[in-house]
Chain A
Amino acid sequence: MTYSKNIIDNIFGGIRPTSRALGKAATTIQGWYDSGTIPQKHWADIINAAKSFDHTLNSEDFFPKQLSRLESFGYPFNKLHCLSIDDFNRPDIETLLSLGAHYLDLNIQKNPNNRVLKGKTLINLFFENSTRTEKSFELAGKRLGADVISMQIANSSVNKGETLMDTAVTLNAMNPDIIIVRHSASGAPALLSQKVSCSVINAGDGIHEHPTQALLDALTIKSAFKKISGLRVAICGDILHSRVARSNVKLLNMLGAEVRLIGPKTLLPSEAETWGVNIFNNMKDGLEDCDIIMMLRLQIERMSDALIPSKREYFHFYGLDKEKIAYTKRRTLVMHPGPMNRGVEISSEIADDEKISLIKKQVETGVAMRMGILHALSNSQDSIK
């Protein structure tokens, strides 16, 4: 995936020669060398310069080669499924994040010549409503050249009483390469992955996990702060019903952030202390010195009966507004996995403030991160075959 190293070392013979050949500052070249990628506006110059070094480059060379092994720190990425953050070790996560960062460049993302998933079939199998996850997977798949089918559960045989297993077997018979599943039952994607021969991506299962959301959140944080380790992240609100929180706690812990959970006791899992986080029941203490505040949606549809008395009281004590954000006593960025309930967990003045809200950025990053995940899974499928 890190193609810039190849070009700089093998064609031009190092950073300084490249800098001379292109007439650019050595620090710029160093930047390309470290990031592994080269912005598209420079490609034409490089192709021209390479000619004088007797090398013929074309735009394909600026994409990671399909069959080159993906790896970080020497550990190859060879996972077939993305079901839980637990599936990945730290090098896997680094591989995924750097692939995601690669696709953050819109020029790379939208390049019509992208053929990473050419000839592959993706099935979006969403048993629960979704806007951003489903559409961003669809877009990610299409931008990588895959054929994408989105199943409309409302129109499918599931409504005629077909069980999840039968649906899985049926779909498997159509030989897809990747199935992306969202289901209201925790563990459903894991069950599915045992019955199909393709890769399965968990796009949210009940109140268990939502690993791609955690990865895109991590990538968003990394792009905003240039690091994750050492940051203090507060996850606030309905932790009990949040799969996003569960995945984020695992991932952020793995990446060295200090995670805090803030919420009323009725919305916090009773044994959450064992998750390696600090628990707070009020925003004032919890938000102190936080770099990132992740607000969660109050999932009223998952509550069997009232866990909080009213939205008014919830917003008064746990809704994020200008007054509460001041408890952090530092510059803080706000995230929300969406969809937002304005005036319940977050006020519009925060949600719409571009200076502090990363919420739109998260959606944007979502497509890039999911391209990275699809790329990585497809790559390890190919290398195993």
Chain B
Amino acid sequence: MNITTIINARIINPEDGYDKLGSILIESGLISDFGPDVQAKGQIIDANGLICSPGLIDMRVNTGEPGKENRETISTAAKAAAAGGITSIVLMPETNPAIDDISLVDFINRKSENAPINIYAAGALTKSLDGSTLTEIGLMSEAGAVMFSNGALPIKSAQTMRRLLSYSSNFDCLISNRPIESSLSINTAAHESDFSLRLGLPSSPSVSERIIVERDIALAELTGGKLLIDLISASESLIAIKQAKLKYSNISCSVSINHLSLNEKDIGDYRTFAKLDPPLREESDRLDLLNGINDGTIDVIVSSHDPRPAGEKRLPYSQAASGAIGLETLLAAGLSLVADKQLNLMNFLATLTCNPASLLGLKSGRIKKSAPADLIIFDPNAPWVCKGKSLLSKSKNTPFDGRLMTGRNIKTICKGKLVFDSSN
């Protein structure tokens, strides 16, 4: 039996707000005890008084496998995630071919067997992500798909969305849809504002997002399906979600760490590395989103890791691909906001641990007896400079290149095994 003890740790469990100094005893990959009075046994990991929390769960990660391995493979993404303090990732189905069949879910499962962290597949909502043909949600769910998404492509038809929510509720599956009204957002590159209009960029208004947020909330009410509104970026959306959450428990939403850290000004000088989907919006939107985390309206923060080789990014702004990598910067960018007193530490960690775990039905994401020992030790105050080139991801398209960061992951333990140690 493998026994490890993490000693001298400030144990934080966001699920119940637990925050105490102590030790965590790990036996056979599971947490067997924790707290101030635990006797150290077996192999010792000294946390030196740093924070030990559940490993992060990132519900939105793109790799290029299968089909676009030049962007990222499952194995490089897993390494980057482990370095960033993430112990579970959910891979989006937007691959080539799309993960729309049980055999492809099985492919992801087999590819992930030897990965240092937990890798889960999100099944495609529609065949080849065509937006209209239902996939075998029940069978894929049995094969191990933890949620269903149509990637970056929204479900345009309300009837299709209704059926998806209704059908998936038979199996209690989480359905994720991007809130984009395609007719308002097609061929646009930026948020519609004074700034983007001065830059002369084709832009889409925030209401494009709000329209679908409200539509999907209404459909979730009608069908009782479990809805995740994927990547909100505007204040208007948040208001609608806050209202809906007063009445319905089956509605949740996510936000990317980029939209909490950056605003539209970051695309100044046509910096394509900050070209994202949804586009970066105004500072007031960003502040509202931060409030949404602090008051619990927003359930989940994701990295929205989207690796793109330089060739897809070094293009005129409107032609460049959108998306940014984020596995290694997710925790640090969030801790920087905590250090700036913009985010509450406990709420921030909850959106990356217990909240995604309960949406996905995972046992990890919490520190309690007989939960999987997926843990991280991080220094919330370590200063460092983010350098794109030194990141482990195969693609280096980070919008945080050259940024000063506060807080960094030190050690990652997944299933009781030390899978990343910054001192090595």
Contact = CB atoms under 8 A, between A and B. Distances in A.
B186 interface: no
Contacts of A282: 170
Contacts of B139: 312-313, 316
A163 interface: no
A282 to B, nearest CB: 7
A266 B167 contact: yes
Given A266-B163, A270-B222, A309 B170 contact: no
B138 A316 contact: yes
Contact of B138 (A270, A305, A313): A313
Interface stretch (B129-137, B207-215, B241-249): B129-137
B166 interface: yes
Contacts of A306: 132-134, 163
B163 A317 contact: no
Bin the interface of chain A by size.
10 to 19
Given A282-B170, A317-B170, A265 B223 contact: yes
Contact of B134 (A265, A309, A317): A309
B170 A313 contact: no
A312 B142 CA distance: 14
Interface centre among A305, A310, A313 (most CB of B within 10 A): A313
B166 A317 contact: no
Contact of B163 (A307, A312, A313): A307
B136 A310 contact: yes
A100 interface: no
Contact of A305 (B132, B167, B170, B224): B132
Interface of B: 132-139, 159, 163, 166-167, 169-170, 222-224
A308 interface: yes
A281 interface: yes
B167 A317 contact: no
Contact of B167 (A270, A307, A312): A307
Contact of A265 (B132, B159, B166): B166
A264 interface: yes
A312 B224 CA distance: 25
A308 B167 contact: yes
Given A306-B133, A309-B135, A309-B136, A264 B222 contact: no
B170 A312 contact: no
A281 B136 contact: no
Contacts of B169: 265, 281
Contacts of B136: 309-310, 312-313
Contacts of B170: 264-265, 281-282, 317
Contacts of B222: 270
Interface string A256-269: 00000000111000
A281 to B, nearest CB: 5
Contacts of A307: 134, 163, 167
A310 B136 CA distance: 7
A309 B137 contact: yes
Contacts of A312: 136, 139
Contacts of A317: 138, 170
A240 to B, nearest CB: 11
25 contacts: A264-B170, A265-B167, A265-B169, A265-B170, A265-B223, A265-B224, A266-B163, A266-B166, A270-B222, A305-B159, A306-B134, A306-B163, A307-B163, A307-B167, A309-B133, A309-B135, A309-B136, A310-B136, A312-B136, A312-B139, A313-B137, A313-B138, A313-B139, A317-B138, A317-B170
Nearest to B100: A309
A321 to B, nearest CB: 16
Contacts of A313: 136-139
Nearest to B168: A265
A308 B134 contact: yes
A233 B324 CA distance: 56
Listed from nearest, the 4 A-B pairs whose CB atoms lie closest are A309-B134, A313-B136, A265-B166, A281-B170
B77 to A, nearest CB: 28
A255 to B, nearest CB: 30
